[in-house]
Amino acid sequence: MGKVSVQEIKELMTATGVGMMDCKKALVEADGDMDKAIETLREKGLATQAKKSGRAAAEGMVAAVVNGEVGVLVEVNTETDFAANTDDFKSFVSAVANTIIEADPADVDALKATKISGGSATVDEALTELAGMKIRENIVIRRFVRLEGKLASYVHNGGSIGVLVKMDTDLAADAVAAIGKDVAMQSAALNPAYLDRSQVPAEVLEKEKEIMLAQMSEDPKMANKPEQVKAKIVEGKVGKYYKENCLLEQAFVKDDKLSVQGYVDAEAKKLGGTITIADVVRFERGEGIEKKEDNFADEIASMIK
């Protein structure tokens, strides 16, 4: 049988959740036998992956790779930390990171359509094979960022947090690598919301000021103070807000007598150059993903039924 109908392909897609081209190929191989085509997809692991695709993938890892003046931060998720710790999964994430470095895809969809680094399959095909035939869990390439320039990175606790730092500097990349890593570790540890005060949105700042004034109105010692006094107190509190929420104004964790900016400037001066922290990107594994709390006993009972 050389051809299959659109209706047959649609029926198989509905039954299995597998993509159109794989369904078409399975039907052709099965001479139009729907049950045999489903069996073929299950044997290849494709139907297994499709059935699992609705399950929350909030584990996995964040990887950071810097190759010369190109760096990547990528998050790939799995359902369990057990799967995330396998060599197969780690090798896949590494290959995905290298693919991003080499191909510079525009987004995750473009990445999945790209031939994977060191292989003949696309990233999506490699993901499907890994999820369906080896790990047998839902795997999701969630997000990535690719930067160019003089870079440094830090990955915490095997991939729970990853940070990529870009520096504008007249110094050599190897000379500033340790400084960049210190900044990355600071970001990993304290998770500041902004790089510097210029990034704080005006509406956020105004809201903070409103909260500060409301707090003073509730404080008997502050409520009756003149408005100009309150305004000065608010400005002082805003300064504290910057120091807590802006990376470059935070106290440096290795020497709290210095701000992060002060540390960077001091190190640059020692090296006879200048360093500007141009960008800092921080990924925390699973942040924002709602984890489904399954009842294991109920799940087994439903399988028996």
pLDDT tens per residue across all 305 residues of the chain? 467 888 888 888 777 777 788 888 889 998 888 888 887 877 776 665 545 555 556 799 999 999 999 999 999 999 888 999 999 999 999 999 999 999 999 999 999 999 999 999 999 999 989 987 788 888 999 999 999 999 999 999 999 999 999 999 999 999 999 999 999 999 999 999 999 999 999 999 999 888 888 888 888 888 888 888 888 888 889 999 999 999 999 999 999 999 999 999 999 999 999 999 999 999 999 988 765 544 445 543 444 34
Say which CATH topology domain 61-148 has.
Tetrahydropterin Synthase; Chain A (3.30.479)
Q: Where are the domains of the chain?
A: 6-52, 61-148
Q: Which residue has the tokens 């659109």?
A: 6
Query: Are 119 and 125 a contacting pair, CB within 8 Å?
Result: no
Whole-prediction pTM = 0.75
The bridge status of strand 150-156 relative to strand 161-169 is antiparallel
Say if residue 164 is exposed, middle or buried (CB neighbours under 10 Å; 0-12, 13-18, 19+): buried
Same fold, 6-52 and 61-148: no
Question: Can you name the residues that pair with 276 across neighbouring β-strands?
Answer: 168
Say which CATH topology domain 6-52 has.
Helicase, Ruva Protein; domain 3 (1.10.8)
